[in-house]
Structure 1
Amino acid sequence: MTSPALHDFSLLLLQLYRLSHELPIDAFQDAALELVKPVLPFDASMWGTATTAAEGIDVHTLHLHRKTPEMMMEYDNFKHLDSAAASFFGKGHGTRGFHSKSWWSGTTYAPFLDYVQRYDQNNIFITMDSDPRSNFMHWFSLFRADPDAHCKPEEVNLLASLSPHLMQALALNRIVHLDRLEAGSQAPSGSAIGDLRGVLYHADNFFETTLKTEWPSWHGRTLPDALLKHFLHGHARYSGHAIVVTHRVEQRLLFLKSRMRCRADSLTPREHTIAELLARGDTHKDIAAILSRSPATVRNHIQSIYDKLEVGNVAGLIHELRLAG
């Protein structure tokens, strides 16, 4: 790479990492790919994660750039013939260019060649990074519709240099988003990002420590089965023996937050409602009117709340509620 080219490459990377901090997660990948187009022209792309198996790739997350979901729905019928993707299996990482008509020649691959040509994938760049231990891979593909726009060796080398930065910038973009979701939280907490199959893409030390408190044999690469099943059944919060984990789903990703249990977790839903009303400044008579209960009943609830939280005033109650996030 010559000095001017190196300078341009550095500017591209600076802009890429700036976008990773500035853009929301639903806009970053398209913006990153548009940033690449002037130096490595392509027409469309897909960017995702998957596990590999004998019958082909099993997609976990997927971002389509100028392609329709129908393309991937049809891909499932032919993925066992995708010898380009299979050429990366077990390799750890790599970047290659493929001329579709040359690569998928012969009667065996005729159905797959027809498929890629119908979706204007006449020349394809693929770059991937995988963990051979788990068969989990992070990859993206760039498609060219023009059959004569072959993938040149220098373009493959450029993509090989760019791809680790694109993947790292995506990881940073998601972590920045996670940090924004946690803004304002005062309780010590851990955070993580995973997909709907339970694979973790990011987990800080506090998250790992809290989960190992609840599940001592947990290995750390995927969410514990009990936790994942709880969330997939529609629950937003998991209250364990020692920890509490909450989540929200965006872009088919789980954004997770964990903390140790605190006194406020012992409150009943009714007690928690009353505690929140007390914290905002309502009197026991105000709360009685809001909840259509007698003042005496509300006073009894308040005494139970104070006993459970081990506090004697509203200031102490507010502190305990903040520990629960």
Structure 2
Amino acid sequence: MGLGIASFSRFICDMNHHAPFMRAEELARWTVEELSVALGFDAAWYGWARLHPRGVDVFSNATHGLPEDFFATWQCMADQDLLARSKIEHPGHAAIYSRGQRRQTDGMADLSDRYGLTRMTTAMESPAGGLPNFYLSSYRVGESARAWSQEECEFLQCAVTHLTSAMKLSTSEPGRANAPGSVTILASKDGIGYLCLDALREQFGDLWPRWTGDNLPEQLACLISRPGIHVLPDRGLIVTVETTPNFQDMDLRRLTLRRLNGFDLLTKREREVARELAGGKSAKEVARHLGLAPATVRNQTQSIYQKLQVDNRAALAAAVPVGAG
């Protein structure tokens, strides 16, 4: 595969084709594997990190073609990472490292020698407001590994930028769009938000007017370790927390937020009755289909109308969300 405009266009088209059917972390893994072939690198390290004057904080990460102890080894020399230092000093340029270059640190040399990573480059979404950004460090192995060209680095940087945008479109369940008015974000197990924080602030920022930065509001961060559906009546919210597939220890969480509606206040049985009535069945048909006494259906219908604040079938049908469970 060449590195011209045509090849890059094909790559982006393939990525966008997969985005609606893959979760964000799946799309990232697919992209790294495709790039390893297209650009000819042997290993990679990628995830979300934040740059600051003192160095870099890595929040979630995965590897491609590297031993399991790579991240632990890197943590021991993080303050000597020349790629991170280069990105901090020159955020708009590709960071490149060669084992044979003059500028070295003991930690960088040890990392290179331990894993045979003689040619390295790091691409990262342009830092904005001190928030975590997606990064991809790509490695070529062996003394005969060729140097990274400017064209290859530009290809890699553009790919990371497009991948970040594509992942924002693939945070929800593959093949299923979010409900209108809802927002889905990705976060770390420690409550650091990655994708779609801008949408979260736009839709629900009024609920936490003092919330800034990338740490989720405490009320959401407390739910990170509790997968399931949570009702926050004081905020008028329904929050669904999911643990994403654990690809090489990325350990991400997916949070979907939407406004609380009257249907959420119904009991499980009332929801069943409401769906049946909204679908056009008579009270007798509902009773027969659900195995209930007619009097029970009448009582529940009255309760449903009261909770949803409706007084006829048409209004009830409008108040029952499509696909509601």
Answer whether TM exceeds 0.5 for this pair: yes
Q: Does 1:62 align with 2:61?
A: yes
Q: Does 1:119 align with 2:115?
A: yes
Q: Does 1:189 align with 2:170?
A: no
Q: Does 1:166 align with 2:162?
A: no
Cα distance change, pair 220–74 in 1 and its aligned pair in 2 (3 A): closer
Distance 1:192 1:86 in 2: 33
Distance 1:184 1:259 in 2: 13
Superposed displacement of residue 137, structure 1? 3.8
Q: Does 1:198 align with 2:197?
A: no
SS where residue 5 of structure 2 aligns?
helix
Contact 1:48 1:138 in 2 (8 A): yes
Q: 1:144 aligns with which of 137, 140, 143?
A: 140
Superposed counterparts of 1:87-98, under 5 Å: 87-89=86-88, 91-98=90-97
SS where residue 56 of structure 2 aligns?
strand
Distance 2:119 2:315 in 1: 65
- Correspondence for 1:299: 298
Cα distance change, pair 35–188 in 1 and its aligned pair in 2 (3 A): closer
Residues 18-55 of structure 1: CA deviation (Å, up to 9, x unaligned): 12222224553444345445663221112221134688
SS where residue 217 of structure 1 aligns?
coil
Residues 50-101 of structure 1: CA deviation (Å, up to 9, x unaligned): 1346885332232322224332233333333334323323643331221235
Cα distance change, pair 273–178 in 1 and its aligned pair in 2 (3 A): same
Contact 2:48 2:194 in 1 (8 A): no
Distance 1:220 1:85 in 2: 21
Q: 2:16 aligns with which of 11, 18, 21?
A: 21
Distance 1:222 1:323 in 2: 33
Contact 2:183 2:203 in 1 (8 A): no
Cα distance change, pair 281–267 in 1 and its aligned pair in 2 (3 A): same
Contact 1:194 1:253 in 2 (8 A): yes
Q: What amino acid is aligned across from residue 14 of structure 1 in structure 2?
A: S
Moved more, 130-139 or 64-73: 130-139
Cα distance change, pair 302–57 in 1 and its aligned pair in 2 (3 A): same
Identity of aligned residues (%): 22
Consecutive unaligned residues in structure 1, runs of 5 or more? none
Contact 2:171 2:186 in 1 (8 A): no
Task: Name the count of aligned residue pairs.
Answer: 311
- Correspondence for 2:248: none
Aligned-pair Cα RMSD in Å = 3.6
Consecutive unaligned residues in structure 2, runs of 5 or more? 246-250
Cα distance change, pair 146–320 in 1 and its aligned pair in 2 (3 A): same
Contact 1:210 1:258 in 2 (8 A): no
SS where residue 42 of structure 1 aligns?
coil
Q: What amino acid is aligned across from residue 158 of structure 1 in structure 2?
A: E
Moved more, 176-185 or 295-304: 176-185
Q: Does 1:242 align with 2:241?
A: no
TM-score by length of 1: 0.76
SS where residue 49 of structure 1 aligns?
strand
Residues 216-256 of structure 1: CA deviation (Å, up to 9, x unaligned): 33347553221132233334334343343434443544444
Superposed counterparts of 1:1-325, under 5 Å: 8-23=3-18, 24-25=22-23, 27-37=26-36, 40-52=39-51, 57-89=56-88, 91-100=90-99, 102=101, 109=106, 113-131=109-127, 133-134=129-130, 136-152=132-148, 155=149, 157-178=150-171, 181=174, 183=176, 188-196=180-188, 197-203=191-197, 207-219=200-212, 221-240=214-233, 241-250=235-244, 252-279=251-278, 294-322=293-321
